[in-house]
Amino acid sequence: MAAEHQHFLTSDNINPNIRKMDYPVRGPLVARAGQLEKELKNGVKKPFKDIIKPDVGDCHAMGQLPITFIRQVMAMVFYPPLLDDPRFPDDTKERAQTILNACKGGSIGSYTDATGLEIIRKHAAEFIEKRDGIPCNWENVTLYGGAADGIKKILKLFVKETNGKRAGVMIPIPQYPLYSVTLDEFGLHQIRYYLDEDQNWGVNIEEMQRSIDEAKKVCNPKVLVIINPGNPTGQVFTRKNVEEIIQFAYKENLYILADEVYQNNINSENSKFYSFKKVMTEMGEPYVNMELASFMSCSKGYTGECGFRAGFAEILNMCPKVRAMFYKANTAMLCPPSTGQACIEPFVRPPEKGEPSYDLFIKEKEDILNSLKVRAKLIVETLNSFEGITCNEVQGAMYAFPRIRFPPKLIETAKKLNQSPDEFYASEVLENAGICIVPGEGFGQVPGTYHFRTTTLLPVDKMKIMLERLEAFHKEFMDRYR
């Protein structure tokens, strides 16, 4: 029917920024993986029995169990008659009652303020204060429908052309594609600074300087995005790294957007998480007065509640007039999902020693975090044993981003197919080994280098199967193109 009708909205007259948007983590390989699963279900013969999908940072999808404490609180918030149920411990009831008392009409179904429920903002501020050992003003803490929602809202503030030049945002390469896609959507200029793979994906201030100096010719640099611990690169910045980045941002008049959602995912014994807030504050004048937005989320860490879209930010030193405009603009979307907010409360206020849920909570939390450390190590060690693959330590976060040195013949073959070599590799891995990985191209990489991203989230058993299948494929593949 529709074919006979002249469409009013077409691919030619659509918002050109939307046309440009691309989100490689959910790209064509994911769709192809879905097709293959359907084929397998329908009895089509393949060289594998199932599709293994370690591609997305989706903990529960890969078998991680939710934290009981959080879910008990949420169950009571949604269905308050459960507050009388003796099976729920008193500390879960206290958290649930705290949330309900803050809700208008006592119902989680009512709107909250656009900045989130005040009591949860206060508790999130206490969580941040405890983390850093530095005071945190709850009025600087705001809740969002996931960190991505808050990040987009902050970036949107900078959309402005001045002297014929767009605003520019510095993003690390490799980066989490939320950034590139959001900059495309908003028509902001990408200022790409490369992380140094040889220094375990550290920042290199000279490289940052090169990238901003070049960018100044075509845009007005405004924001510096930092992802720490890194996605997809898994590095954890040292305190010195953080200090240097802050000094650089100060010198270049940049607003710092610190994506710190993996702060609870520290795998390496030699690494420690230093928040930008903490370092900036301890550096004193003039850095302590810099503008910073730092993001945290319930989606990662040991909770993995990514479906709820629950995140929060601490926004420091925002110009009061800007803050008023920012808050006003956000009221148009009414409020962040109250359900995500209901997850933040028990997350920032976990059971304390002596509370009835404490032992179970600690056990669940440490089991998950310890297992993630083991898995991060296993995947890195195994990948490093493959011909032509080198993989940096996954110091933090939940991704490995190995580099592959392909034989020249493979590179030529891919070129002929009009694919980048890493895309070709990932596609072959999917078709022949039934494993869905994400080509490095989607995150950005130094030209001439090739990578892929896999999460470290598969359960150990399944991860071993995945690595065995990948190894067998990889050997055959390298032989084929040698």
Q: Which of residues 73-132 bind a copy of itself (CB under 8 A)?
A: 74-76, 78-79, 82, 103-105, 107-112, 114
For a copy of itself, the binding residues in 377-436 under the rule CB under 8 A are none
In the set 254, 372, 379, 463, which binds a copy of itself (CB under 8 A)?
254
For a copy of itself, the binding residues in 264-293 under the rule CB under 8 A are 286, 288-291
User: Site map for a copy of itself, 312-351, x if CB under 8 A?
Assistant: -----xxxxxx--xx-xx-xxxxxxxxxx-----------
Binders of a copy of itself: how many residues, by CB under 8 A?
Answer: 100
Distance between CA atoms of residues 481 and 450, nearest Å: 16
Segment near a copy of itself (CB under 8 A); pick from 239-247, 304-312, 373-381, 405-413: 304-312
Nearest residue to 350 (alpha-carbon basis) of 333, 340, 363, 338: 363
In the set 307, 356, 388, 407, which binds a copy of itself (CB under 8 A)?
307
Nearer to a copy of itself, 41 or 321 (CB): 321
DSSP state letter for 266: B
> b vs e for 272-293, b when ≥16 Cβ sit within 10 Å of the residue's Cβ?
ebbbbbbbbbebeeebeebbbb
Is 481 near a copy of itself (CB under 8 A)? Answer: no
- Two tokens, residue 42: 């329908």
The SS3 call for residue 35 is helix
Whole-number minimum distance, CB 393 to a copy of itself, in Å?
Answer: 27
Asked whether the beta carbons of 453 and 440 are under 8 A apart, the reply is: yes
Is 66 near a copy of itself (CB under 8 A)? Answer: yes
Helix (H) / strand (E) element for 414: namely helix 408-416
Q: How far is CA 63 from CA 55, 59, 66, 437, 461, in A?
A: 14, 7, 9, 18, 11
In the set 169, 178, 257, 383, which binds a copy of itself (CB under 8 A)?
178
In the set 181, 283, 378, 411, which binds a copy of itself (CB under 8 A)?
181
Segment near a copy of itself (CB under 8 A); pick from 311-319, 407-415, 421-429, 462-470: 311-319
Whole-number minimum distance, CB 268 to a copy of itself, in Å?
Answer: 26
Nearer to a copy of itself, 89 or 202 (CB): 89
Other CB atoms closer than 10 Å to residue 333's CB: what's the count? Answer: 11
Nearer to a copy of itself, 121 or 403 (CB): 121
- Two tokens, residue 8: 């009013």
Whole-number minimum distance, CB 137 to a copy of itself, in Å?
Answer: 11
Whole-number minimum distance, CB 383 to a copy of itself, in Å?
Answer: 24
For a copy of itself, the binding residues in 135-174 under the rule CB under 8 A are 145-146, 148-149, 152, 156-160, 162
- Which residue carries 């993003």 as its tokens? 171
Bridging pattern class, strands 255-259 and 403-404: unpaired
Is 56 near a copy of itself (CB under 8 A)? Answer: yes
Q: How far is CA 15 from CA 51, 186, 447, 470, in A?
A: 36, 11, 30, 41
For a copy of itself, the binding residues in 430-459 under the rule CB under 8 A are none
Nearer to a copy of itself, 183 or 426 (CB): 183
Euclidean distance between the first and final Cα of the chain, in Å? 52
- Two tokens, residue 73: 């609180």
DSSP state letter for 308: G
Nearest residue to 405 (alpha-carbon basis) of 428, 422, 429: 422
Whole-number minimum distance, CB 428 to a copy of itself, in Å?
Answer: 24
Amino acid in position 355: E
Whole-number minimum distance, CB 271 to a copy of itself, in Å?
Answer: 26
